[in-house]
Amino acid sequence: MSSKAKILLIYTGGTIGMSKDFETGALKAFNFGKLLQNIPEIKQLDCNIETFSFEHPIDSSNMNPSMWTKIATIIEENYPKYDGFVVLHGSDTMSYSASALSFMLENLAKPVVFTGSQLPIGDLRTDAKENLITAIQIASLQENGKPVITEVCLYFEYKLYRGNRTSKVNAEHFRAFTAPNYPELVESGVHLKLNSHLFLPVKKDAKLIVHKNLDNHVAIIKMFPGMSEVVLSSILAIKDLKGIVLETYGSGNAPTEDWFLQLIQKAIQSGLQVVNVTQCSGGSVNMGQYETSTVLKSLGVISGKDITTEAAITKLMYLLGQNIPQNEFKDIFETALRGEISQ
């Protein structure tokens, strides 16, 4: 007889953890000790749930690398005791956090499922209950006594996505997230439909390694017609800047004006890591497809391929924190480490 899966629910903050004071209409933090009382349906789940809440829950707009380290440390310290983890998080920066945690948790052999909601848990039309219940159910899935999901994921509105493939695309709809370049791992309908051929494989007997050194001397630069030399040169001249994610047009295209290419060349020669990602919501960078990206390729710009901006910037922080030799950085960035890019 198999024992029930043990799930740790980690509350960081966000709308899902709010309940409405019906007298004043104000939102206030929810007491997760009273979770069963507020969502009795959770008792029907075939798992044991324990909760951990940030002492001072935060709005996800205030999320930062030290908070990611805090979440990673909570998982690390509780890793032997639990079969899966569900992280409740504000939706605004959830894709960044899920991406960051995917890089920080190397050799993960258990599920870490991020979820949240567009409406508070106490709201009449809330999406919080379904998101929370299904996220817990997915995190507790086991086969032969081992977790079915073994990666960092994001569950929202009937779909489980690979966390580092997601972007928030809507502030109004319940379907707030999409994974533009990778299909959903699980779809929730009357039954859970598992696309198990898409899951990340587990490294057998590999011990969990938690990387806590993230370097945030990075920037995102979104190209636009009319960007001036003064603006770009000012950003590239920022003291201690180590890497930039350059959001270019289409399949990785950028201006071919001399001043632009000279600034990028000078930046790369000075040791700055420049990653090219598309500002399109889907698709991939393919440097060399057009003349406007051929020069970038020859300068040594890193191809982000079909990575999201959220995964690109967090991967940059992660790799810069690893002190990788300059001549190896490009190859490592262009390699899928946690399924974040298509090979």
Residue 199, pLDDT score = 97
Q: 212 pLDDT exceeds 60?
A: yes
Q: How far is CA 68 from CA 163, 214, 317, 339, in A?
A: 14, 9, 12, 19
d(CA 342, CA 335): 9
pLDDT of residue 41: 86
Residue positions counted in the chain: 343
The Cα–Cα gap between 284 and 56 comes to: 39
For residues 136 and 45, the answer to whether their CB atoms sit within 8 Å is yes
Tens of pLDDT along 31-78?
666 666 777 888 889 999 999 999 888 889 999 999 999 999 999 999
Cβ(236)–Cβ(261) under 8 Å?
no
pLDDT mean over 220-230: 97
**Would you say residue 240 has pLDDT above 90?**
yes
Which amino acid, 20?
K
State the DSSP code for 249.
B
Query: Can you tell me the distance from the alpha carbon of 105 to that of 107, in angstroms, rounded to the nearest whole number?
Result: 7
Give the HSE-up count for residue 181: Cα atoms under 13 Å, Cβ half-sphere: 22
**What average pLDDT score do residues 68-89 get?**
98
Query: Over the chain, what is the mean pLDDT?
Result: 93
Residue 51 to residues 32, 36, 75, Cα–Cα distance (Å):
7, 11, 12
SS3 at position 35: helix
Tell me how far apart the alpha carbons of residues 191 and 218 are, in angstroms, rounded to a whole number.
43
- Specify the pLDDT at position 2: 56
pLDDT higher than threshold 80 for residue 85: yes
pLDDT of residue 35: 64
- Which tens digit of pLDDT belongs to each residue from 241-300? 999 999 999 999 999 999 999 999 999 999 999 999 999 999 999 998 888 789 999 999
Q: What domains does the chain contain, in order, with CATH numbers? A: 5-210 (3.40.50.1170), 218-333 (3.40.50.40)
| Dihedral over Cα of 87, 277, 307, 118: its sign | positive
In contact, 151 and 162? CB cutoff 8 Å: yes
Q: What is the pLDDT of residues 158-186, one digit of tens each?
A: 999 999 999 999 988 888 999 999 999 99
Determine whether 15 is an active site residue.
yes
Q: Between the CA of residue 330 and those of 33, 78, 270, what are the distances in Å? A: 47, 34, 15
Q: Residue 171's pLDDT is what?
A: 87
Catalytic residue (choose from 15, 69, 134, 248): 15
Element (H, E) at 103: helix 94-104
Taking Cα atoms as reference points, which of 237, 226, 300 lies closest to residue 263? 237
Give the model's pLDDT for residue 313: 98
The confidence score (pLDDT) of residue 113 equals: 98
DSSP bridge partners of 302: 275
